[in-house]
Structure formats: structure tokens, C-alpha cells
Copies of this chain bind each other. A is one copy, B any other.
Amino acid sequence: MDAVGASLSANIHGTSDGEDLGVNGGDPTLGAPQNGQRRNGPLLDHVEGQRFLEEAFQIILEEALRQGVDPKEKVCEWKDPEELRTLLDLQLRDGGESHDQLLQRVRDVVKYSVKTCHPLFFNQLFAGVDYHALAGRFLTETLNTSLYTYEVAPVFVLMEEVVLSQLRSLVGWEEGDGIFCPGGSVSNMYAMNVARYRAFPQVKLQGLWAVPRLAVFTSQEGHYSIYKAASFEGIGLENVFLVNVDERGRMIPEDLDLKIELAKMQGAVPFLVSATSGTTIQGSFDPLDRIADICEKHGLWMHVDAAWGGSVLLSQRHRHLMKGIERVDSVAWNPHKMLLTGLQCSVLLLKDTTNLLKQCHCANAGYLFQQDKFYDVSLDTGDKSVQCGRRVDCLKLWLMWKAVGTQGLEERVDKAFTNTRYLVEEMKKREGFRLVNEPQFVNVCFWFIPPSLRVMEDSEDYRERLAKVAPTIKERMMRKGSMMVGYQPQKGRVNFFRMVVLSPQIRQEEMDFFLDEIESLGRDM
């Protein structure tokens, strides 16, 4: 390395007579191949770099997008891990690779990745693609800034303010606070910390030893992030009280009341109830209004994990599922799910107008949040976050919203419900499908009963065999690459599929294919 170092040093201390030194070309010595290997000047050639980006973009457009959304193409090109390791040649080496080799890398990454934008991808609570949002994401990546101060992110500080305000107005709040977080789990964590701070501000300084044992409440079907938050924030899993649900997976308010009393009897101090709008598996909506009554009675912070279901607020027809939402203290909502903004786009919305979020999280770092700046430093919102650098997650949502309008977003939500109704009606016409429950939302949970099991009575043997159906069909569809859908057991129920019809790109054809394909893959079982 000494020779290279000397050459660098010579550059810097020597002449500065050219465009060649850095911005347009880099040191020619360094840019040249070494050992016939390194073709990309590490000190960056803008012209060559931009050419690579353009060519990579064309590959992305053609192979990840055009082919990715084509129903005739595979959803995934399954490879077992050992084979995929060999195919990808992931190892990093001393020397660099050529332009063409690198473009081939881009192609390979696309080829072996799951096409989550494919119309037959139903595996997660995200799917599809929105091109305006995607353009916003490319722009976000290119502008490469961090959302902590107005001086480095002027457009995005103001944009985040407007987007949060618009989302709050859908909740029913004319004012309030909020922040974009790296995922719904983190939004839930933030809510837990802010709720704790409101109840016991001394925890920030003195830690949990200064207060009695605390208790948190969520339903048996609430998301596991509430557990993770309680553990991470030092509260402990045992202090998460699980409230019973009804037969359709909704929190039973009377049981919440009982559990709160139980916690108190055990010497714990309740401070937070996390209700769910759109549970992960069944898509259930807890009865917010009745839960709010109980929270008010006990003086508890009411949070709603609407990461999945929050988008129903856009629909005049379906927002009744979240009746009472305006009464709560905080809402977590992920537009990257049903609204197709792309990962990640998660907000925490707060009713609070007293700057609780910032008071709870601030550390007043002098190197970022100088108070003697020449503009209104209340726009330096970074101290509301527990991160330091924070990604710009508002632009993709904003640009998409500008493109389709609130009406367009509403139509997407409504279409997902309509699709779900179609799918459910079709399932009812077919012999092998048995619904776990009538869907409240767009999660369709069902068992496929293969021919050999249709004649059997319910028994332990039957349930054991039924439990193996979903994993087997899943393996077959993955190896074939025909589609992707998730499954899981839940409480007493053996493995069942969870089909999610969230993307507005799904047509009747895809739903019919889905049902046919499940039948076909499970025919011999």
C-alpha cells in the first residue's frame, strides 16, 4: 500500500492542474487496472459511475419490474441455500470487478430474489409496486440526507410535517405530533416509551428502579413487537398482560378490565393498553370505543397498533372498523403495507400537543441542535427520535399521494376489500377450502383439506395430517415458483394458510389461479 499512499500524497501535495484529480476522473494512476482486476477507480469516476447507474437502471426496469410484475413469470426462482451460495459468489476480495461483471451481479441478484411486486405474491403484509412511490424512493436514495435538521433536509422536514398532519386528520385529530419510524415495531416501542414518560417522567433520569413494577396490556393476538418492546425497554415479558379475544380474534373489553384489576392486585401499575387494528394473522379489529372507555376509567395511555389495518381510515366505507380511533393517545400505522409505498414507511401519530415526544427522547446534542442558528430551530426535529440519523421515509408516500390523490388511495383500500369478498365467495363454492373465520379485513385464513382428508372425522390423527398440508403445499409452490402465500398454526388451530389480497394490482384471474393452484398442489395428499 505504500506505493499507492505515496502516489496519493504526491497528488495532493503536487499540482492541481486538471479535471483528472478527482471529481471528473480520479487520479489516472489509481483509476487504472491493478493486477488486471480493479477497474473502478476507488476514488470515483463520476462519468463512469453514472454510466453504470444508467445501465443498472435498465436492468432493474426490465428484469425486476417488467418481468417481476408479469403473471407469466415465476414469483421466485427457488434455490437451496448451498446452491445459491455457489451461484452468487458472494465473497468479497481485495480487487474489484469489471463493469460487465458488476452488471451481471445486478442481474443475478434480481434473478434469485423473490418478486414481491408479482401479482401472485401473497406471503407478507406488503406486496405490489407503486411507481410514483418507487420514483420517490430512488430520489430519496440519491439525495442521501438525514432527517434531523432543517439545514440538511429542508424539503423533507416540511414534507414530513404535512404528511403527518394529513395522516392525523384521517385519525380525526386537528393537531398533534408524530414521527416516521424504522418499522411498525419501533413505532410501538416509541409509543410505550412516551406513555411511560407521561406516567413516570422520572424513569428517563433514574431508570425503572425509581417506580413500581409497570404493566402493559395487549390482546392474545396482538403483535409480538409489544413483547419485544417490553423486554427492550426493561419492563419484562412477564409484565405484558394478555387480554382474551373473542372467537374472531378481537380483544374482549371486559377481560381487559379484569386483567387491569388483576395486575393491580399483583402490585403492578398499569400504564399502557395497546389495542390492535388489523391483527397480523386474522386481520381482526379490536373494539376501540369500548377499550377507550376502560382506558379512560383507569387513566391509561391507549395506543393502537394499526400498522396493518390503519389504511382503512382512508375508506369511507370501511373506517367504521376503527370507530373510536380519535379517542386514543397514539397510533402506529405502516403505509408500506396496504398503501404500497414500499419498505419502510411507518408512522407513529400522537394526539399530544405538549411536545411529549421530544421531551421524552431529547438529549440536546450540541453538535446537531445548536440553539444559535439563524432559522427557527423548532424545525430541527431530530431530537424527537431515539435514532440519530433518520431516513427520509415521507417522500415516497407524499409523491404517490400527489399522484393518485386521497380518492385514489381510498379506491385501493376499497378494492382490496372487494377482492377479498370475491375470494371468500369462490372458496365457499369449492369443496376443499374451509375458512378459519369469516374475514373482517383482507386476511383470508383457511385450511385446504386434500381429498384423502375430506372423508375423515375430526381426530388427533386428522389434525396431525392436516397440519402437514400447508407446509407441503408451500414447499411445492416455492420449488415451482408459481406463487407465495404464508401459513402458521394459531392457538389450538393446526397450520392454516393466511392469504392477503392487499395489492390493487390483483385481478380475478390471479385469485382464480390461486385457488386452482392450491387444489392442484394438494390434489395427491
Q: Among A251-259, A321-329, A410-418, A451-459, which stretch is in contact with chain B? A: A410-418
A373 with B471, Cβ < 8 A, contacts A57-B57, A106-B135 known: yes
Please indicate the chain B residues that have their CB under 8 angstroms from the CB of A401 in the complex.
92
A439 and B92 CA atoms in complex are apart in Å by 32
A43 with B225, Cβ < 8 A, contacts A53-B134, A389-B183 known: no
Integer count of this chain's copies in the complex: 2
Q: Are A1 and B234 in contact (CB under 8 A)?
A: no
A205 and B474 CA atoms in complex are apart in Å by 34
The 3 closest A-B pairs by CB, nearest first: A234-B234, A42-B408, A207-B236
Q: Which of B57, B227, B474 contacts A363 (CB 8 A)?
A: B227
**Residues of chain A at interface, number, CB under 8 A:** 202
Q: Are B185 and A386 in contact (CB under 8 A)?
A: yes
Interface string of A484-499 (1 = CB under 8 A from B): 1011111000010010
Q: Which of B4, B49, B155, B361 contacts A109 (CB 8 A)?
A: B155
Please indicate the chain B residues that have their CB under 8 angstroms from the CB of A299 in the complex.
none
Q: Are B145 and A113 in contact (CB under 8 A)?
A: yes
Q: Are A367 and B280 in contact (CB under 8 A)?
A: yes
Q: Among A59-67, A350-358, A429-437, which stretch is in contact with chain B? A: A59-67
Q: Are A158 and B84 in contact (CB under 8 A)?
A: yes
A440 touches B (CB below 8 Å):
no
| CB proximity of A79 to chain B, nearest CB, Å | 7
Q: Are B236 and A233 in contact (CB under 8 A)?
A: no
Interface string of A304-332 (1 = CB under 8 A from B): 00000000000111000000000000000
A110 touches B (CB below 8 Å):
yes
Task: Enumerate A130-168 residues with CB–CB distance to B below 8 Å.
Answer: 130-132, 134-135, 137-139, 141-146, 150-156, 158-159, 162-163, 166
A409 touches B (CB below 8 Å):
yes
Interface string of A107-141 (1 = CB under 8 A from B): 00110111111010001101011111011011101
Query: What are 26 of the A-B contact pairs (CB < 8 Å)?
Result: A9-B418, A21-B507, A23-B69, A23-B507, A38-B405, A38-B407, A42-B412, A43-B411, A46-B65, A52-B135, A53-B65, A64-B139, A78-B154, A85-B158, A94-B405, A96-B402, A102-B399, A112-B154, A113-B145, A123-B151, A183-B390, A209-B209, A232-B361, A234-B234, A343-B389, A373-B475
Q: Are A504 and B12 in contact (CB under 8 A)?
A: no
Q: Are B495 and A130 in contact (CB under 8 A)?
A: no
Q: Are A42 and B504 in contact (CB under 8 A)?
A: yes
Please indicate the chain B residues that have their CB under 8 angstroms from the CB of A230 in the complex.
207
Q: Which of B16, B53, B395 contacts A508 (CB 8 A)?
A: B16
Q: Are A84 and B154 in contact (CB under 8 A)?
A: yes
A506 touches B (CB below 8 Å):
yes
Q: Are A37 and B405 in contact (CB under 8 A)?
A: yes
| CB proximity of A386 to chain B, nearest CB, Å | 5
Q: Are B61 and A105 in contact (CB under 8 A)?
A: no
**Considering residues A144, A189, A421, which has the most beta carbons from chain B within 10 angstroms of its beta carbon?**
A144
Q: Among A242-250, A287-295, A374-382, A516-524, which stretch is in contact with chain B? A: A374-382
Q: Are A43 and B412 in contact (CB under 8 A)?
A: yes
A182 with B418, Cβ < 8 A, contacts A23-B507, A155-B84 known: no
6 more contacts with CB within 8 A, not counting A5-B317, A92-B166, are A97-B403, A113-B145, A113-B154, A114-B154, A343-B391, A367-B488
